[in-house]
Amino acid sequence: MHDDDISVFDIENELESPLDRLEDPEPQAPDPEEMLPLLKSPDPQQRMVAARAFCELRDERAIPDLVELLQEPCPLVRVSVAYALGRNTNPAVVSPLIEQLGKDWNGYVRKGLVWALGNCGDRQALAPLVHALKTDIPAVRLWAASSLGQLAPVGFDLVVGAVPPLIQGLLNDPISAVRSNCAWALGQMCRELPNNIVYAGAIDGLIEALENDEDLSVQEDAKSSLLRVGDPRGLQVIEDLEFSGLL
């Protein structure tokens, strides 16, 4: 775990990133022809403006420069680059994203990196996302859970590898928002699984959260996942809890 981050981030505010508080974009989208040269500008402010523009724009020409800017000293530039690469996904960006996730000291940047890896839909992302879910700060764990859920359609082996840490996060993470995202992700995983032991374990975890988690939002997300999956056992538990007035 990145121990240095614990003292840097306020537990109540760290689930946000600077990009979360940006004003709504102007109706007219940025011009990529103007933004592309700014990615190489000597002015870090202009590089940040260009990177933020590619959070909105998709243009393959920007990818090499965005990857290079992952090494930018300014974390505000790096966080913008992370989100931009999550918008401009390409197999070539997966390894650089993973490498940066493993060494970046800034939690906001790592949050953007795990979001980008989820959007990439690449099997290489499984191990670093699981590691982030288990060890990182709350803001990163939150998005690592969601990103693992986005990997569900990639392959059966990824689902099998992601379900156990997601169950652990759902039942044990101290942050309710992380547990909620784990519940959502497990619902995505179950839809890709046959009725086997991994599937049964995920349903067990969702039912346990529904019955025992003290946070109403976690209960609601577990319930929603069970309803989406349509598992008979889960549906029966929901019906019983509703009948008894516990839901």
Q: 13-35: per-residue pLDDT in tens?
A: 556 665 555 555 555 788 889 99
What mean pLDDT comes out for the span 151-164? 93
232 pLDDT more than 50: yes
9 pLDDT more than 50: no
Residues 219/185, Cβ–Cβ less than 8 Å: no
* 242 CB neighbour count, 10 Å cutoff: 11
63 pLDDT more than 80: yes
Q: What percent of the chain has pLDDT over 70?
A: 89
Q: First vs last Cα of the chain: how many Å apart?
A: 36
Burial class (CB in 10 A: 0-12, 13-18, 19+), 197: exposed
How high is the pLDDT of residue 18?
54
How high is the pLDDT of residue 13?
56
pTM of the full structure: 0.85
* Encoded tokens for 187: 């619902």
